[in-house]
Amino acid sequence: MGDQGVDTAFGIIYPPQVAIVGFGRIAERPWIASGKIDARPLVTVTLSADHRASDGHRGALFLTAVGRLLQTPETL
């Protein structure tokens, strides 16, 4: 949905799906690093999952892995 200008996308799961990932648009947002406020390009990534198939812990691990991969896109 990010290519449509949407900041955040929350997916709805329809059976037989068990999860869906949403990517918002890349936008400059304030970021604090080393005590200074800076503008950085950020994207919001969301995960909707059926807790009968997985749990929040695994979802958090997945989103953390996606975040790490997006930090170094040249390694993809």
List residues with catalytic annotation: 51, 55
Residue 43 one-letter amino acid = V
Tally Cβ neighbours within 10 Å of residue 49: 19
Question: At 64, is the secondary structure helix, strand, or coil?
Answer: helix
Question: At 46, is the secondary structure helix, strand, or coil?
Answer: strand
